[in-house]
Structure 1
Amino acid sequence: MEINFRTKEESNRIQEENFLKLSPVERIYSFLQLIYFFKDFPSQTEDENKNFIIVIKDAKHTMG
């Protein structure tokens, strides 16, 4: 195991560079692995409803 001491900006830059080195398919798989890793991560919300709603408003279809 290697420990590196970096600034937040430097760490973010290195992570971004490593991510951009991946092929588009590898990027998708990396994203899916991240989602899977965080699926059981504890959150502060106690909402039982696991769904979310996307609302797109424009001039023609505004409600109310």
Structure 2
Amino acid sequence: MRTDPRIRFETKEESNARREREFMALTPWERLALYLREITRNPPTREERGEAKGNFIIWKRADGVRG
């Protein structure tokens, strides 16, 4: 019986190291695209946002990019 390749049995440290290696193997543009996709799926809470901290903020326009 074969196991599903999407299922992994690893420690948290192993998982974090693997995820970091996979992320760093991407090009800078792929990293940015992945970040923007993930931030859209799971937006930060008000406390996690940077407004109160003075951080740089990227705003996504609802109407997309105009050319």
Identity between Structure 1 and Structure 2 (%):
33
The alpha-carbon deviation at position 3 of structure 1 amounts to 1.1
Aligned residue among 26, 47, 54 for 1:22: 26
Give the distance between the partners of 1:51 and 1:17, measured in 2 at CA.
27
Give the TM-score normalised by the residue count of structure 1: 0.60
Aligned residue among 20, 37, 53 for 1:33: 37
Aligned length: 49
Unaligned runs of 5+ in 1: 56-64
Give the TM-score normalised by the residue count of structure 2: 0.58
Bigger Rg, which one: 1
> Which has the higher relative contact order, 1 or 2, with Cα contacts under 8 A spaced 6 or more apart?
1
Unaligned runs of 5+ in 2: 56-67
Give the distance between the partners of 1:51 and 1:12, measured in 2 at CA.
24
Query: What's the C-alpha RMSD, in Å, of the aligned pairs?
Result: 2.9
Give the distance between the partners of 1:27 and 1:34, measured in 2 at CA.
10
Runs of 4+ in 1 over 6 A off after TM superposition: none
